[in-house]
Structure 1
């Protein structure tokens, strides 16, 4: 098996349990990340749809606001200098509300209107075009609220998009890299343990065969030894044949010397010693 696609571990029962425990943890994390990605996608689709509708409404509101501003300019003339001179306390403020969407920290923006704030332009347009001025003020306030909502939804969509990408990268990394490595590592450990078990079984089989062979050889040797002892005992019980009487060693030597002193010559001139029969055993020569 390719060592690049598995973790470098030793094939043991402890590592097998550890790898299985890691697989359980990885599977749990994989399922949680998939659920997180699905929740982020759902929330992102919802935010994207709201963003699209808000963008369409924002264009219409801004168009109506600038049309009302043009009507004021047509009725009262240029009033930008008067507005800039009378700028005071802000009547609309933006509040940041932190939100947690499936573990992703986002910020929601909400427009708050200060009721107690003094309006410096409250008396603008009393001489002429007051109705147009109030309509323009309402239109631009609505445009500000819509812009704040649009910014909040856009920020949420950007954060959710980044979170979805990072979560999907983690999910793909676990699915394509970590989980195959863990499975290959578990397969490698099981193969090595099976191979060791087969080797141990073969070794025990060979040891048992050798032991049986040695036992059979020992039994055979004992049987042959018992049969040999029984044969020798039977031969000893038989009557020994009559042997000629043996002479003493000194007498045998004397007879040998007497035989060596006698000699005859054949007709062809070859020397041929003559030895008379003697009664002695070959074992007596050792003495």
Structure 2
């Protein structure tokens, strides 16, 4: 609303309502931001935990793979790896947190049965495969968490920007308008009161003069 808005009681009511709505909007934005920040902190902690688990599992998987290569030879390990089916069951869904769409990565967990022959492989290759399967699952979980954290971070910035605009621009503007209009209305009331006193005084004088003449 224009800062030069006419000082009327109707406009004062409209601006007070706008001020109340702006303050309510700021409180909601502030609550939303705090909720999103808490969610983000939890995701960051979860991502750190998953990453540590991935590092540990990768180390164990490569150690088993190296032992398998040493005992079986690179060619036999390569042949065995060709029997492992490609992953094509990954699906991405979403859920909403305070209006923020969060991705959920899902995949079909395969049975632990091996796809290659036992007589041409050894335990280290089996261990390596199971460890890499675990890495795949952990990586998908980490992807979900990191994407969720990125989207929450972006939404937090947007929410913070809107909250700041309400707090530092919109609310002070309406407060100034309310203050100015209230002052103007009070000034008008004082002027009206003074004018009525003058009119009453003049009327009393005329009445007194009329009484004296009679």
TM score, norm. by length of structure 2: 0.89
Q: Which has the higher contact order (CA 8 A, sep 6+)?
A: 2
Specify the alignment match of 1:11 in structure 2: 7
| CA distance in 1: counterparts of 2:107 and 2:82, whole angstroms | 24
Specify the alignment match of 2:162 in structure 1: 170
Residues 22, 166 of structure 2: 8 Å contact kept: yes
For residues 93-126 of structure 1, the C-alpha deviation after alignment (integer angstroms, 9 at most, x for no partner) is 323231111221111213322449x96x421x52
Is residue 181 of structure 1 aligned with residue 173 of structure 2?
yes
SS at match of 1:113: coil
Structure 1, gaps ≥5 residues long = 224-287
Specify the alignment match of 2:20 in structure 1: 24
Specify the alignment match of 2:130 in structure 1: 138
Specify the alignment match of 1:126 in structure 2: 119
| 1:97 alignment partner, one of 93, 109, 118 | 93
TM-superposed CA distance for 1:213, in Å, is: 2.1
SS at match of 1:11: coil
Is residue 218 of structure 1 aligned with residue 214 of structure 2?
no
| CA distance in 1: counterparts of 2:193 and 2:174, whole angstroms | 28
Structure exhibiting the larger radius of gyration computed from Cα positions: 1
Is residue 38 of structure 1 aligned with residue 61 of structure 2?
no
Structure 2, gaps ≥5 residues long = none
Is residue 66 of structure 1 aligned with residue 62 of structure 2?
yes
Residues 83, 116 of structure 2: 8 Å contact kept: no
SS at match of 2:116: coil
Residues 92, 114 of structure 1: 8 Å contact kept: no
Give aligned pairs, total. 213
Question: Aligned runs of 1:135-284 on 2, under 5 Å?
Answer: 135-220=127-212, 222=213
TM-superposed CA distance for 1:27, in Å, is: 2.2
Residues 65, 128 of structure 2: 8 Å contact kept: yes
| CA distance in 2: counterparts of 1:209 and 1:67, whole angstroms | 107
> Measured at CA, do residues 212 and 151 of structure 1 come closer, stay the same or move farther in structure 2, by a change above 3 Å?
same
| CA distance in 2: counterparts of 1:81 and 1:152, whole angstroms | 31
Residues 92, 113 of structure 1: 8 Å contact kept: no
* Structure (1/2) with the larger helix percentage: 2
TM score, norm. by length of structure 1: 0.68
Residues 43, 145 of structure 2: 8 Å contact kept: yes
| CA distance in 2: counterparts of 1:99 and 1:209, whole angstroms | 75
- RMSD value, Cα: 2.3
TM-superposed CA distance for 1:155, in Å, is: 0.4
TM-superposed CA distance for 1:198, in Å, is: 0.7
Specify the alignment match of 1:76 in structure 2: 72
